[in-house]
Amino acid sequence: MHKFICFGLFLILLLILSSTINFIHYSNVFAQESVSIAPGSADPNNVETFVPPQISLSSGSTISWTNDDSITHTVTAEGNPAIANGEAPFDSGLISPGYTWDNTFDSPGQFDYHCFIHPFMNGKVIIN
Ligand SMILES: [Cu+2]
């Protein structure tokens, strides 16, 4: 009898563990990541513009860019590799200070991007 109870508890533990692993797995696949457009990004001497400058995610993931600077910026794709993967190059348009722009990446690829107003601001998205 005692053995059955032990085995039952073991099964329950296994169930809890596997559902936790599943949750971690799914949250990785459909990740939501944030990039900050750092204060002072318009200054060419500023080493930090898009923070983090490079981000690596699985397809289906969404990235949110938030303009933490005091002037307007854009998130504009360089274009070429995106077209090859059947995904339109992305362009946020103007992001006012304090505003956020989201983009979901459905196809794998490496996407270099910049700010249309300040071309020295560069970032990269890698979708696996
Ligand atoms: Cu800019």
Helix and strand tally (H, E) in the chain?
2, 8
Q: Report every protein residue that has its C-beta within 5 angstroms of ion ligand 1.
A: 73, 115, 117-118
Dihedral over Cα of 73, 79, 85, 86: its sign: positive
Q: What is the pLDDT of residues 37-53, one digit of tens each?
A: 999 999 989 889 999 99
Q: How far is the CA of 4 from the centre of ligand 1 (A)?
A: 65
Q: How far is the CA of 41 from the centre of ligand 1 (A)?
A: 7
In the chain, where the domains are located: 1-30, 32-127
pTM, full prediction? 0.72
Edge-to-edge strand list for the sheet holding 122-127: 54-57, 122-127, 109-114, 76-77
Q: What is the pLDDT of residues 6-46, one digit of tens each?
A: 555 555 555 544 554 444 444 455 677 999 999 999 998 98
**Looking at domain 32-127, what is its CATH homologous superfamily?**
Cupredoxins -  blue copper proteins (2.60.40.420)
